[in-house]
Amino acid sequence: MSIPLTRRALLKAAGAAAASQAVPFSVSAATRHRAIGANDRIRIGVIGCGSRGRMAHMKGLYAHVKETNFEIVALADPWRVAREQANGMVKEWFGRDAQQCVSYRQLLELKDVDAVTIASPDFVHTLHLEAAARAGKHIYVEKPMATEFDDLVRAVDAVKEAGTVVQVGTQLRSLPGIVGARDLFRTGIFGQLSRVEECRNSERPYWYSYLKDVKEEDVDWKEFLSGRPMRPFRADLYSGWYGYYEFSKGPTPGFGAHFIDMMHFITGATFPSSCVCLGGICTWKDEHTFTNPDCIQATWLYPEGFLVSIANNMGNAAGNTRKFYGDKGVLNVDNWSAPTYDCEGSPRRDGTIRGKKDVKPVDHPDHFLNWLQCMRSGETPNASIDAGYQHAVAVLMAMISYETGRKTVYDPLKRKITTA
- State yes or no: cis peptide before 144, omega within 30 of 0: yes
Give the confidence band of 39 by pLDDT, cuts at 50, 70, 90.
confident
* Per-residue pLDDT reduced to its tens digit, 303-324: 999 999 999 999 999 999 999 9
The pLDDT of residue 38 is: 81
- Residue 22 predicted with pLDDT over 80: no
Q: To which CATH superfamily is domain 174-362+393-419 assigned?
A: Dihydrodipicolinate Reductase; domain 2 (3.30.360.10)
Q: What whole-number distance in Å separates Cα of residue 272 and Cα of residue 168?
A: 20
Using left for φ > 0, alpha for ψ between -120 and 50, and beta otherwise, residue 92 falls in: alpha
pLDDT value at 29 more than 70: no
Task: Report percent pLDDT > 70 for the chain.
Answer: 92
Residue of higher predicted confidence among 11 and 74: 74
Closest CA to 29 of 162, 119, 200: 162
Tell me the β-bridge partners of 331.
Answer: 324, 341
What pLDDT does 33 receive?
53
Report phi then psi at 260, rounded to 5.
-60, -45
- The set of residues, in sequence order, having a beta carbon less than 8 Å from that of 99 and lying 6+ positions away, is 73, 74, 75, 107, 110
Please classify residue 414 by burial: count the beta carbons closer than 10 Å to its beta carbon, then call 0-12 exposed, 13-18 middle and 19+ buried.
exposed
Please write the tens of the pLDDT for every residue from 197-240.
999 999 999 999 999 999 999 999 999 999 999 999 999 999 99
Q: Taking 90 as the threshold, does the pLDDT of residue 17 lie above it?
A: no
DSSP state of 206: G
pTM of the model: 0.92
**345-377 pLDDT per residue, tens:** 999 999 999 999 999 999 999 999 999 999 999
Q: What does the alpha-carbon distance between residue 218 and residue 220 come to, in Å, rounded to a whole number?
A: 7
172 and 419 Cβ atoms separated by less than 8 Å = no
Does the pLDDT at position 3 exceed 80? no
The closest alpha carbon to 267, from 190, 207, 340, belongs to 190
Neighbour-count burial of 354, counting CB atoms closer than 10 A to its CB (0-12 exposed, 13-18 middle, 19+ buried): exposed
Residue 14: pLDDT band (50, 70, 90) is very low
Domain chopping of the chain, boundaries: 22-171+369-384, 174-362+393-419
Across the chain, mean pLDDT equals 93
Q: For the sheet with 295-302, list strands across it.
A: 357-358, 340-342, 330-332, 321-326, 193-199, 306-313, 295-302, 274-280, 408-411, 416-419
| Higher pLDDT, residue 217 or 9 | 217
May I ask the CATH class of domain 22-171+369-384?
Answer: alpha beta
Who has greater pLDDT, 154 or 8? 154
Residues 6+ apart with CB under 8 A from 239: 210, 211, 212, 214
Cα radius of gyration rounded to whole Å, the chain: 21
Spell out the residues 6+ positions from residue 267 whose beta carbon is closer than 8 angstroms to its own.
185, 193, 196, 304, 324
Q: Find the helix packing angle between 385-404 and 149-162, rounded to 10°.
A: 170
pLDDT bracket for residue 31 (50, 70, 90): low
C-alpha span between 57 and 117 (Å, rounded): 7
- The span from the first CA to the last CA of the chain, in angstroms, equals 24
Task: Note the pLDDT tens digit of each residue in 130-177.
Answer: 999 999 999 999 999 999 999 999 999 999 999 999 999 999 999 999
Q: Strand ranges (DSSP E) for 152-290?
A: 166-168, 193-199, 274-280
Q: Is the pLDDT of residue 28 over 70?
A: no
pLDDT value for 314: 98
